[in-house]
Structures are given as C-alpha cells and as structure tokens.
A and B are shown apart, each in its own frame.
Chain A
Amino acid sequence: MIPWQQHVRNLYRLLMPTLFPSWRFFEQVGPSPRIEYRTNLDASWQSTSQLPDRLGPKDLLRRLFFSPAWNEHLFLISTATRLAVDPMLHDVTEIRARLARRLGQTGAETYQFRILFLSREGGKIGQFVIYESTVQLTG
C-alpha cells in the first residue's frame, strides 16, 4: 500500500512540468529506441511499428484527425526511453499490457519482447539491446 503522501508527491512531480514546461524539443537527437517482439523463442524478432513504404494524401489527412495506433507507438517509444533512463515497474507493465492486447488479437498465446536502441557509430547505424523480457502470456 502506497502512503497518500507519496501519491501527492508523485502528482506534484507530474504536474509541475506541465505548468512550467521546459520546451527543449529535440535538443539532442541521440540513440533511438525500438521495441521488438517474437511470439515463440525460435521466431525472429519483429518491430512493433511496421512502417508503410509511403502514405498517400488521404491517409495523411485521416491521420491528422485520427491516429491512435501511431500515438500509441510514440507513447511506447517514450516509455522505452524512460525505462532506459529511470526504470519503473509501471513502464514494463505498460509495454507488456499493450503488446499482450495486440498479440492476443492475432491468436498468439505467448510472446517475448526486447528494447533496443539504434545509434550512429562512426557513420554507421548500430544497435544495442538494453532489456529483454521473459516469455509472457497474452491472456
């Protein structure tokens, strides 16, 4: 049981950056996170965000008004970044729940996920894994 003082402190910590935002958008473009999953241990890893090759004007217009999947992708990316910097159980739970919901709809019963970062190393793009989950149940 979390004491109420801790809830208040947590709310304060969350509220202050909205009242006094830092506005330091894209200050650094550093290593970029990706979340990958596989539905059995022998399968190859797949990205949670399969990008289309291109989007037509109709798709772009629709996404301007309604883009839940993409915004969930951005949320998962920021959660993965937070997990790398300041790990919290909440972040793992959030990624796990969203992947379980998504993969459960495809009929998969188990899955595993990992978080990796892409970074530029001497002109080439390399990757390093920072987190790998145990096998999870979708149900």
Chain B
Amino acid sequence: MSFEVALRLVEIGVSLALIQRAFEHIHNEAKLFLPQLILAMLLLSGLASGPAAWGLWALCLWQLYRFQGAYNGGADKLAMLCLTCLAVAHAAPTPFWSEMALAYLAVQLVLSYFISGWVKLGNPDWRSGAALRDVFALSAYPVAGNLRAISERQNLTLFASWAVIAFEIAFPFALASPALLTGALVIAAGFHLSNAILLGLNRFFWIWLSAFPALIWFQARMFV
C-alpha cells in the first residue's frame, strides 16, 4: 500500500468515525458538533484534507477543554492522535516528515495493544480471570443484564483473559509478515466488535479500524 493510499484511507476512516460521533452529540451540543460534522464531511470529500484535518484538530482540542478530558476515553484520544498525525502529514515540509507522522500513528497503534496486554499480564487478577469476571459482575460496562451471568462462567473468563493477554502481547510480532498482520488485524477487528457488542464501546470499534491502513503501510515500508 502506498503512502498516499494509506493516508487517504485513514482520512476516510477518521472522517466517518467523527461523523458518527457528531450525530451522537448534535442534538444537545450543536455548537460543538455541527462544525465537526461539516469539517468531517470536508475531510471525507478529500477536497481540502489539510485544512479540514487542522480544523478538526482544533475543534477536538476545544472538546477536550469543554469536557475536561476525553468524552469517550481511549476512543477520543485515538481520534485526536489520528487527527494530529493527519494534520502534521499534510503540513510537513518534506515527504520524509509526512511519512514520520503516519509512522508515529502506526507505532502508537502497535503500542495500544502491546502495553494493554503487558499491564494485564502483570496483574494477578487478570492472570486468574478474576479481573474479567469483575468487568462483567460489577463494572458499569455490560450493556444488558443477562451479560452479568458471564461472570459466573469461570472457565470462560479465564480462557478469554488469557486469549486477550496473548493476542495483545503478541501483536507486535504480526509486523513480521503481511499475512500475519492481516490475520492480526482481522482478530483485532473481532476483538473491538465484541467490545462494542458486550460493553457498548462502539466508538473504539470505528476509530481503531480507521487507523489500520497506517499500520498496513508501515509494515510494508519497514519490513518488506
């Protein structure tokens, strides 16, 4: 995948994710989210990607200030990171620095899995399955009452805990070949989809998927 194609695909993904986010807020906070909708459509069109990315960056900074942090945790943080990298890629004085901006996004994407797995591995509650049991038993995340019953299936939560830890820790090794990376991204998409279905983390699904082209380009650029 060429740099130009990867950059354009990330732009399309991020703009769709921001349009989705704008629709969720526009009813109550039109002043903040109507401009987001318009700028995201401009970014989607590809007519003025650089100014649109910078405009969205400034707007999302304003939103950070308005909510005194990311409204939707990691999903909004990754959206801001994507916008920063897109904006810098368009404003960079040379192609080298444009590539560095997209490479930074790719590296952060790898770290998002690896660090998340590493900190779980260091926690005895994750290793025993107790942490995941408590996610379903007492956290505010499960989207329906019947999902609380998952906490009683100890073998399932133990297996799922180790599956998540193993996948997240092993993710950087997927950079070794395009086939491995394709497989890892399919599993990652399934992981985000299950988080969206079980825990209601729908925005994570869209924004993480939108950053995948940066990683596909990075892998080809660095390791092939």
Mark A residues whose CB is within 8 Å of B.
7, 10-11, 14-15, 17-19, 21-29, 32-34, 49, 51-55, 60, 63-68, 70-71, 73-75, 77-78, 82, 88, 90-91, 94, 101, 118-120, 125
Residues of A within 8 A of B68 (CB): 14, 88, 90-91
Smallest CB separation, A22 vs chain B (Å): 7
Residues of B within 8 A of A52 (CB): 143-145
Cα A55 to Cα B200 with chains together (Å): 11
Cβ of A18 and Cβ of B139 under 8 Å apart?
Answer: no
Cβ of B203 and Cβ of A71 under 8 Å apart?
Answer: yes
- Residue B65 at the A interface, CB < 8 A? yes
Cβ of B143 and Cβ of A11 under 8 Å apart?
Answer: no
Q: At the interface, is chain B mostly helix, strand, loop or mixed?
A: helix
Cβ of A19 and Cβ of B81 under 8 Å apart?
Answer: yes
Residues of B within 8 A of A88 (CB): 68
Cα A18 to Cα B69 with chains together (Å): 10
Select one of B24, B74, B131, B144 contacting A67, CB under 8 A: B24
Residue of A nearest to B203 (CB): A71
Cβ of A18 and Cβ of B142 under 8 Å apart?
Answer: no
A–B complex contacts, Cβ < 8 Å, 11 sampled: A18-B76, A23-B115, A24-B115, A32-B140, A55-B144, A66-B23, A68-B25, A71-B203, A75-B67, A88-B68, A120-B134
Residues of B within 8 A of A49 (CB): 140
Cβ of B84 and Cβ of A18 under 8 Å apart?
Answer: yes
Mark B residues whose CB is within 8 Å of A.
20, 23-25, 27-28, 61, 64-65, 67-74, 76-78, 80-81, 84, 108, 111-112, 115-116, 119-120, 123, 125, 131-132, 134-135, 137-146, 193, 196-197, 200-203, 205
Cβ of B125 and Cβ of A29 under 8 Å apart?
Answer: yes
Cβ of A67 and Cβ of B202 under 8 Å apart?
Answer: yes
Residue of B nearest to A69 (CB): B24
B23, B138, B193, B197: most-surrounded residue (chain A CB, <10 A): B138
B65, B71, B143: most-surrounded residue (chain A CB, <10 A): B143
Cβ of B74 and Cβ of A25 under 8 Å apart?
Answer: yes
Cα A33 to Cα B74 with chains together (Å): 18
Residue of A nearest to B125 (CB): A29
Smallest CB separation, A115 vs chain B (Å): 12
Cβ of A22 and Cβ of B134 under 8 Å apart?
Answer: no
Residues of B within 8 A of A71 (CB): 24, 71-72, 200, 202-203
Residues of B within 8 A of A28 (CB): 123, 125, 131
Residue of B nearest to A88 (CB): B68
